[in-house]
Amino acid sequence: MSQNSTAPKLQPAFIPPADGRIVILTGAGISKESGLETFRDAGGIWSKVRLEDVATPEAFARDPKRCHAFYNMRRARHRAADVQPNAAHHALVRLEQGWPGDVMVVTQNVDTLHDRAGSKNLIHMHGTYNQARCNFCGHVIANEGDLSVEDVCSACNKAAGMRPNVVWFGEMPIEMERIYGALSDCDLFISIGTSGNVYPAAGFVAVVSKHAGAHTAELNLEPSAGATLFAEAHYGPATATVPAYIDALLQSL
Ligand code: BJW
């Protein structure tokens, strides 16, 4: 996709060297304009359901039917025809394809909008909605439809253990070694559409500033919980700020 010439201009405060490494962290805000809800905004997911009831291993052990109902509803929404990658997802693909150095996207989102836009060097640190995992043997399968307590694992044949392959509170996020490797070696860290409330992702900006000495930029609708830790910030909807910021980086080449 080429740059939209009507897009607002934005001047990044720092341009990395052309072979510089860029790590981008994304959160629910980047998918908001694709029609998916965020968690902590007014009217967001955690204003309608308590995370303690649906997003912890204890909640699943206590009431698996309730967890399944919550994720079946979210999965159905993610599959809806009107939920498509937006200009911010596409801009990150342009960066990966056009920037000579390494570009890695680390997303906290369980939606597949980065994948569908075409991001390749992508880590889903909180898992994805379209996989299920057996709680007993760890077997992972592709799963686009509803899950239930009646489902039987095709590997160990046990029932009632199939769960969404997402990371709940108290669980270890995915591929942390690879993520910290990229963070410790990057020149630019960009955080997009995340409130900075959930660790370890909320701590990445401090890790990068301290250990890599890299430049840090926040692109969000409003200042995040960690806003003061960033060297640079641009506030507005992701479909405006992200394409403008990325195209300015690419035009510097
Ligand atoms: C826009 C926009 C637009 C809107 N354009 N922007 C250190 C200190 C304190 C606590 C901890 C700590 N280390 C660990 C913890 C505990 C815990 C934690 O962080 N708790 C906090 C609540 C304090 N962390 C964990 O348990 C994590 N595991 C872990 O640390 O493992 C190590 C360990 C394991 C075991 C024992 C001990 C240590 C796991 C966290 C898992 C989070 N899971 C969820 C659910 C995933 C599945 C699902 O989707 O259902 O992940 S919770 C939810 O929050 C989801 C998100 O990925 C995550 C982050 O949310 P995000 O993306 O930031 O969304 P919002 O809504 O918060 O923000 C949206 C932003 O967008 C806002 O700022 C808007 O303004 C903006 N926005 N529209 C641009 N159009």
Our answer on whether the CB atom of 166 is closer than 6 Å to any ligand 1 atom is yes
Our answer on whether the CB atom of 195 is closer than 6 Å to any ligand 1 atom is yes
- The reported pLDDT for the residue numbered 2 is 35
Our answer on whether the CB atom of 226 is closer than 6 Å to any ligand 1 atom is no
- The reported pLDDT for the residue numbered 7 is 56
Q: Tell the burial category of 174 from Cβ atoms under 10 Å away from its Cβ (0-12, 13-18, 19+).
A: middle
Sign of CA dihedral 204, 209, 212, 218: positive
- The reported pLDDT for the residue numbered 9 is 80
Task: Record the pTM.
Answer: 0.96
| Helix-helix angle 238-251:87-98, to 10 degrees | 20
Distance 197 CA to ligand 1 centre (A): 6
Distance 52 CA to ligand 1 centre (A): 13
> What is the per-residue DSSP string for 41-98?
STTSHHHHS-HHHHSSHHHHHH-HHHHHHHHHHHHHHHHSTT----HHHHHHHHHHHH
Atom of ligand 1 nearest to the CA of 28: 62
pLDDT digits (tens, 9 = 90+) for 13-53: 999 999 999 999 999 999 999 999 999 999 999 999 999 99
Distance 228 CA to ligand 1 centre (A): 18
Residue 28 structure tokens: 């629910």
> What is the per-residue DSSP string for 89-125?
HHHHHHHHHH-SS-EEEEE---S-HHHHHT--SEEET
Distance 81 CA to ligand 1 centre (A): 26
Q: Which residues of the chain have pLDDT under 50?
A: 1-5
Alpha carbon nearest to ligand 1 atom 22, residue? 198
Distance 84 CA to ligand 1 centre (A): 23
Residue to mutate (ligand 1; options 89, 106, 114, 198; most atoms within 8 A of CB): 198
Our answer on whether the CB atom of 56 is closer than 6 Å to any ligand 1 atom is no
Give yes or no: 211 in active site.
no
- The reported pLDDT for the residue numbered 48 is 98
Residue 155 has φ and ψ, to the nearest 5°, of: -95, -45
Alpha carbon nearest to ligand 1 atom 47, residue? 166
Task: State how far the Cα of 207 lies from the Cα of 107, in Å rounded to an integer.
Answer: 17
| 8 A C-beta contact, residue 84 and residue 78 | no
- Looking only at the bridges linking them, the beta strands covering 232-235 and 122-124 are unpaired
Which residues share a beta bridge with 206?
A: none
Task: State how far the Cα of 45 lies from the Cα of 209, in Å rounded to an integer.
Answer: 31
Determine which one of 78, 90, 124, 126 is catalytic. Answer: 126
Distance 129 CA to ligand 1 centre (A): 16
Which residues share a beta bridge with 122?
A: 105
Our answer on whether the CB atom of 35 is closer than 6 Å to any ligand 1 atom is no
What's the DSSP call for residue 209?
I
Our answer on whether the CB atom of 165 is closer than 6 Å to any ligand 1 atom is no
Return the residue matching tokens 């009646």. 150
- The reported pLDDT for the residue numbered 187 is 97
Cβ density class 205-238: b for 16+ within 10 Å, e for less: bebbbeebebbbbbbbbeebebeebbeebbeebb
